Amino acid sequence: MRLYFHNKKVKDDELDLKLISNIDIRPVLFHIIQYDELHYDEHKFNTLSELNSFLPTTSYTSEDYCTWINIDGIHRIDILDELSIRFNLHSLIKEDISTMNERMKFDLLDNGASIYLLLKIVYIHPTTENIQQEQLSIILKENNFLITFQETKDKLNSIDIFQVVKHRLKNNRGRIRSLKIDYLFYCLIDVIIENYMFVLDHISITIDTLDKSLMNRLKQTNNNILSTENNLKTLKLIYDTKHKMLSLRILCHPLREIIVKLQKAQDRISMANQNALYRRQYRRKKRPKHITLSGNYFFNPNSDSLTRRWSLGNIENKAPIFNEYIFMYFKDLNDHIIQLHDRIDTYCDLSSSLMSFYMILNDAEMNRIMTFLTLISVTFIPLMFLIGLFSVNFHNTPPLKWHYGYFCVLAALGSSASIMISFFKWKKWL
């Protein structure tokens, strides 16, 4: 299912919340990337059976290297059921993955042993230049294991915005392969936010074009009236822009809360690499909140969990979900999201201002037309009076016996009209 910000109705979008059924026969694609600083392996499978045959041959939960499994297609409930069993996904998480138009959310699972993040991908299609939306589910587990669920790609209307991340992984560009899977987790979120910025840049060009068009219309000094068709096109474009901005504001509202929760995860990270004095200060500071730190990863024993609490014997040898360096990048994400929200608020105000400006221009143009028609009516009032006065048929009416009476009446009418028009121009009403 594709969701557009323009007013084109999508065929299958009959409900705001729609569960995907097994009727859809589109294929589900599996893309596995395993890497470390020196090695890179990539595998693609078209069926679940091929994936099930491959996974036992590799240790995809090993902490020696990072594993990213990208599942392209969430329309098959039967496949999601099998994947949830294999990767130990809760039924509520599976429901969130398969439910379209779900609100963006962030959940800590297994007392902090894994993370579920649901995001919305928004991008500009390079061919159609339409703003398109997709749903992405990210599950980050311990031992450098990451799973992503995306909607099935439509070859005509969709693009893979993570292609740049995959290119960096394959060609070992930057530090993406020298760091752990949490840095890849950050890169995926960063690409999504960058696409929000690109969409805003696209909308800002439209807003600037509308603003210049309205200003040129305001500066017109002639009496030419714009056609009704141009007025309707301008009004429709302003309305579409305002609708897009309101949709973006609703869509991006949970982002700030999500990043704040990610930053707060730093309060529950392991203090194994800190000195004894710092650990005592940290425990003293956190003691009223009853936060327990154990193992090589963070977890909160008082938090809500979708599964039973793991015992310490099961988690002491687990690799961390987040390393300490990642919170610097989360802070950068927070700065980008603050900038994103500021731009969205600004463009929402600008779109509303454009709508008000358009209505003011229409009212001013209508007032100018009514003023012109009123002046014509006022000009003809004395003319009608003179015509009525000299049109009476009494025998003693003097103009009836004048040889040049008709021409005198015409001269009186012309003089009256000239005097009225001169007065209007002197008052600058014309």
Please name the residue that has the structure tokens 């454009």.
Answer: 354
- Share in percent of the chain as helix, strand, coil (round to 5): 55, 15, 35
Q: 67-103: buried (b, 16+ CB within 10 Å) or exposed (e) per residue?
A: bbbbbbbbbbeebbeebbeebebbeebbebbbebeee
Cα 244 to Cα 122, 132, 142, 251, 352: the distances in Å are 11, 11, 38, 10, 12
Residue 179 CA to residue 229 CA, distance in Å, equals 57
Cα 28 to Cα 10, 123, 167, 174: the distances in Å are 22, 22, 22, 31
**Average pLDDT value over all residues in the chain:** 77
Per-residue pLDDT tens for 80-104?
888 888 888 888 888 888 887 788 9
Cα 41 to Cα 32, 64, 97, 113, 426: the distances in Å are 8, 14, 27, 26, 85
Helix H or strand E encompassing 123: strand 114-124
Fold of 363-426: Methane Monooxygenase Hydroxylase; Chain G, domain 1 (1.20.58)
pLDDT value for 128? 76
Residue 50 CA to residue 134 CA, distance in Å, equals 26
Total H helices, total E strands in the chain: 10, 8
Residue 96, classed as helix, strand or coil, is helix
Residue 98 CA to residue 22 CA, distance in Å, equals 11
pLDDT value for 192? 93
For helices 228-264 and 326-390, give the axis angle rounded to 10 degrees.
Answer: 160
pLDDT value for 118? 92
pLDDT value for 156? 58
pLDDT value for 228? 62
> Which residues are bridge partners to 121 per DSSP?
134
Per-residue pLDDT tens for 55-84?
887 776 666 788 999 998 888 888 888 888
pLDDT value for 4? 47
Question: Where does residue 320 rank: exposed (0-12), middle (13-18), buried (19+ CB within 10 A)?
Answer: buried
Residue 199, classed as helix, strand or coil, is helix
Residue 346 CA to residue 245 CA, distance in Å, equals 10
pLDDT value for 223? 47
Residue 360 CA to residue 217 CA, distance in Å, equals 12
Closest by Cα among 98, 129, 338 to 244: 129
> Do residues 121 and 329 touch, judged by C-beta distance below 8 A?
no
Give the chain's residues under pLDDT 70. Answer: 1-25, 60-63, 111-112, 153-158, 220-229, 265-320, 399
CA-CA-CA-CA torsion for 211, 213, 215, 220, nearest 10 degrees? -170
